[in-house]
Structure 1
Amino acid sequence: MDSNGAPLQFSVPEPVLRHLSPIDKGAAGEILFPKQVVNSSDRDRYIVNSLIEEAITSSQLEGACTTRVVAEEMLREGRDPTGRDELMIFNNYRAMEWVREHKKASLTPDLLLELHRLVTEGTLENPEDAGSLRERDDVRVVDHRDQTILHQPPPASDLPERLERLCAFANGTEADEPFVPPVLRAILLHFMVGYDHPFVDGNGRTARALFYWSMARQGYWLMEYLSISHVIKRAPSQYARAFLYCETDRNDTTYFILHQLRVIREAIESLHDYLARKISEQKDTEQLLRRSRAFRGQLNHRQLALLSHALKHPGYDYLIEGHQRSHDVSYATARSDLLKLAEAGLLEKTKRGRAWVFIVAEDLPQRIEASA
């Protein structure tokens, strides 16, 4: 319901149905997908890449200012964040990991507050606001150009009851009346957190994380590999308008639903493009190494993936911790991978402080060719 108790509504016109069908088939069904994702441990690398992408772009949507390269290095190497912007990204990464861990749990108010605490810890003006419902009614959505009030959320006194209803809706099933398609349920949860604005700050990041939780809980496994914020960030004004159109047209959330369905479709297409590119790169690397008697059949899939990246990034630094996190393996396994590449002359090993650093040789292609 809206702030005045009037029901929110949606319709299912033909464009909605046209989007839902391929999403249902592609994100939840048994589709033909590259074996690198569904049949081997390489899928962990794709999940890590997706978590990193969503953590960075979701934070940037909320104003985090840091380069993607620096943010990605922080997450892959596991170093402590420095400053509020990096902390926002680090928190988002933890929240996305939380979604994976809790995808089978039922949503409760306490669980949603825990998610918000993860998203905002250490980034708010008042630390006590992390994981707490707002207690003030002066929280508004405004146009930053002229400070025009675009949305006045429900009063703080209504939030506990609204949160209970939100959780009941989140935990609903296909047997409920009226029937709500699972994807639309997840999108409406995203919308309602934005509408209620139950927190002083961090509502957008929490809403998007909750969307992922709902999709994962309802069996849309492909969402673990997608980043919706990456798509939203390309046209953030469209995202904002999709919220506003609902409120100005008699609580019709179909505007937001259509926007988010397009975002999901585009995220799926981006994933397929990314996979095709990475698989092609890895095949090129394998062919290059196959011509080498010294390396033919000697490298595992993690080392091949690293070399695919290294061939395009001469001088790049790899740390054991970063390789470990990228492939979700033990420290000993990651260390062994890098040491063997260094012993083979494909990486140059040096020390930076107390940590070993493995640097891509500037003449890496020539070194591989020389061993043929």
Structure 2
Amino acid sequence: MKYVVVIGDGMADYSLEELGGKTPLQSAKIPNMDYIASNGVSGMLKTVPKNMEPGSDVANLSILGYNPEEFYTGRGPLEAASIGANLDNGNVAFRCNFITEKDGLLADFNAGHISTGEGSELIEALNQNFYRFGKFYLGTSYRNLFVFNDKKSAELKSTPPHDVVGDPFMDNLLNPREDENARILNGIMQDSKSVLENHPVNKRRIESGKNPANMIWLWGQGVKPKMPQFSEKYGLKGATITGVDLIKGIGMYLGLTNIHVPGATGYYDTDYCGKAKYALDALQDHDLVFLHVEAPDEAGHAGDLGEKMKAMERIDSRILGKLLKNLPSFGDYAIAILPDHPTPVHVKTHTRDPVPYAMYSTGGVRDDVQRYDEISAKTGSQGVMEGYKFMKNFIEYAKSR
């Protein structure tokens, strides 16, 4: 039996007036997602516990079968594993975004999707100026990391930058402000502007009409987590396919194989076909592939309905279409499609609403749902389930006859 879980990050949305009261999933051309729903079973998944922020870290950990309330320590340490930042018991990893500050406002949480090459030059400059406090690590595009040398900083309250676009950055710094670590780290964020704003990289970006990466934003901090291996928990050898360090980092902690796909960017231009091809290749010697696509989430954050629907349709045609065509060659298989969380285009950030999921297995039972979307899945036979129970349910469903 082979298993594939396809995550369309942030796909779920609300009913939109411009779509005649339909959601993007209801309006998009997604025949392969509909095939999975109409030939399998559907339900709703609560991927984010009530007391936790609706982030991709919490949600994807949950989908993989690990209760975030038990295993989650922060986003930063999950990404640290992927980009080669070794944590010990005295260090805390912070997610470090390159942002654009303008007139005292957090104008752009990703600095115009700065390239990784440009980011490498800026990371070097940051390390030259702030080395006595910790170390900056290069990630992908605007997604980088800072390892701070005081574990007490893990207790600070931080704010995801994508939640406060357009707000005064001074209103959203690390709290409590009087804490010594908060004072140091907030100082680093503010002082980063003097290091970055006149850097040659940003001069070139401004000349080209692009947003400069003129500040950093520290958030999502945590200490190194301890989690049981996926193979021990489920008896399956698994692999991840993604363009995002967060998912790669989770995979490393769980003992999953991170499959490198050339052209997997974590953005609209990611190589959808390449991800499908590498997933099929990985199934030659793995039991399960966890395939993640970031593009719908990026479109949701940008409030771009057109790009969000394009991303969903590309997942459907270029990934699911290829998988459904070739998976029968492996014999029995099961496949599931779902978002990790909603990223509604009118909200421009994550919400904690339950997400729709559909799963199909050769020889498995089916329910009466005919389409894959937020409304149809509510009528599915699976009902509403806690997110961390999904993986066990998916595996058991695949084996049922």
TM bucket, shorter chain:
under 0.3
TM-score w.r.t. the length of structure 2 is 0.25
- Bigger RCO (CA 8 Å, 6+ sep): 2
